[in-house]
């Protein structure tokens, strides 16, 4: 289980650019939760994921992974707990290395062994089997440089790398947003496959409201650094896309009312 307790993150504190990106959120992520995260641009979604991964350290509050307080651990010390896939298909893999070298790095995630890229025969068989699960023919291209692959193929390899050593949590930050619709659908299909196959706990940011409601068991909505909705199945099954859109409009509308009050 992962828990955020009163976590706050301020960028550029004490300057004119001070920005309270996360205002003090608490969230319990249960084992096997698949949570979709929605919210307008700048709501704090990516910052929340980066706080869980350790890319950012909270200014206030604590983060627990399996009851262990990891709040002050930087990301390399949390690597064994975290799998992540970002929007940019180029960011999750090393383009100048081969497919098997990339997978060899993923296999060592969170382990203390050196970063040598030597690939052993047994590992190669394992990689071939894993790659064949993607259904993209990549199992026959182990020695191809990843830079030769399409964005969708790279994102599929990244997904494989993020889950090859089972993470405590898989963080997906709009990981299909840069892909064409057909490729995005394939990556979503693979995401669901891996989540079910390995029984993963997932936090997935998406702009697609239909996807937010159809995938996983729980949806949270963020707004201005706070969680303003947290709904799980079976209650969530009653929600429709238009309900989410109305909620968006309502939080924006309340801002306008506040502004009017200030001007009055
Ligand atoms: N590294 C950073 N430095 C300064 N401000 C940042 C940084 N990262 C994010 N922010 C700010 O924090 C707020 C939340 O950003 P973000 O978490 O990226 O939102 P979202 O992913 O929901 O679009 C925004 O106002 C953004 O400009
Ligand atoms: Mg973001």
With respect to residue 65, please indicate whether it lies within any of the assigned structural domains: yes
**How many distinct helices (H) and strands (E) make up the chain?**
8, 10
Contact 25, 7 (CB under 8 A): yes
Give the residue, out of 9, 14, 46, 51, with the most ligand 1 atoms within 8 A of its beta carbon, to mutate for a pocket test. Answer: 46
Ligand 1: which atom is nearest the Cα of residue 43? 22
With respect to residue 123, please indicate whether it lies within any of the assigned structural domains: no
Sign of CA dihedral 28, 34, 39, 41: positive
With respect to residue 188, please indicate whether it lies within any of the assigned structural domains: yes
pLDDT at 112 over 90: no
What is the helix (H) or strand (E) element at residue 261, kind and residue range? Answer: helix 241-263
Minimum CA distance residue for ligand 1 atom 2: 11
pLDDT at 263 over 70: no
Return phi, psi of residue 178, to 5°: -95, 5
Q: Which residues pair with 223 in a beta bridge?
A: 226
What share of the chain has pLDDT > 90, as a percent? 83
- State the pTM of this model: 0.93
Count of the separate structural domains present in the chain: 1
pLDDT at 144 over 90: yes
Return phi, psi of residue 30, to 5°: -80, 155
With respect to residue 74, please indicate whether it lies within any of the assigned structural domains: yes
With respect to residue 186, please indicate whether it lies within any of the assigned structural domains: yes
63: domain CATH number is: 3.40.50.300
What is the helix (H) or strand (E) element at residue 91, kind and residue range? Answer: none
With respect to residue 218, please indicate whether it lies within any of the assigned structural domains: yes
- For residue 122, the model assigns a pLDDT of 86
- 93 burial level (CB within 10 Å; 0-12, 13-18, 19+): buried
- For residue 119, the model assigns a pLDDT of 82
- For residue 109, the model assigns a pLDDT of 81
Instruction: Work out the average pLDDT over 7-36.
Output: 97
pLDDT classification of 195: cutoffs 50, 70, 90? very high
Q: How far is CA 52 from CA 8, 40, 123, in A?
A: 12, 20, 30
What DSSP character marks residue 100? H
pLDDT classification of 245: cutoffs 50, 70, 90? confident
Contact 241, 213 (CB under 8 A): yes
More confident residue, 236 or 245: 236
- For residue 75, the model assigns a pLDDT of 87
pLDDT classification of 108: cutoffs 50, 70, 90? confident
In the reported structure, the alpha carbon of residue 46 is separated from the centroid of ligand 2 by a whole-number distance in angstroms of: 4
In the reported structure, the alpha carbon of residue 261 is separated from the centroid of ligand 2 by a whole-number distance in angstroms of: 30
With respect to residue 163, please indicate whether it lies within any of the assigned structural domains: no
With respect to residue 116, please indicate whether it lies within any of the assigned structural domains: no
pLDDT in tens, 62-73: 999 999 999 999
Domain that includes residue 255, residue range = 2-92+168-263
């Amino acid at each position: 289980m992962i828990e955020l307790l009163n976590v706050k993150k301020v960028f550029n504190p004490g300057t004119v650019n001070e920005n309270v990106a996360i205002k003090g959120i608490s969230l319990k992520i249960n084992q096997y939760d698949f949570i979709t995260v929605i919210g307008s641009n700048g709501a704090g979604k990516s910052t929340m994921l980066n706080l869980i991964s350790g890319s950012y350290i909270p200014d206030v509050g604590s983060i627990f992974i399996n009851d262990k307080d990891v709040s002050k651990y930087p990301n390399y010390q949390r690597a064994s707990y975290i799998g992540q896939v970002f929007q940019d298909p180029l960011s999750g893999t090393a383009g100048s290395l081969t497919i098997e070298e990339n997978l060899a790095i993923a296999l060592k995630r969170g382990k203390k062994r050196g970063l040598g890229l030597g690939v052993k025969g047994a590992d190669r068989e394992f990689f071939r089997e894993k790659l064949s699960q993607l259904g993209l023919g990549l199992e026959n291209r182990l020695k191809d440089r990843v830079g030769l692959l399409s964005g969708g193929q790279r994102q599929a390899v990244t997904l494989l790398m993020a889950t090859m050593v089972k993470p405590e949590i898989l963080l997906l930050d709009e990981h299909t947003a840069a892909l064409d619709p057909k490729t995005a659908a394939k990556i979503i299909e693979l995401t669901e496959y891996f989540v079910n196959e390995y029984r993963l706990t997932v936090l997935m940011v998406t702009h697609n409201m239909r996807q937010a409601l159809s995938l996983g068991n729980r949806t949270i909505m963020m707004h201005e650094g706070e969680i303003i909705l947290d709904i799980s199945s079976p209650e969530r099954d009653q929600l429709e896309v238009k309900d989410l859109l109305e909620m968006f409009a309502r939080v924006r509308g309340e801002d306008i009312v506040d502004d009017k009050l200030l001007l009055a």
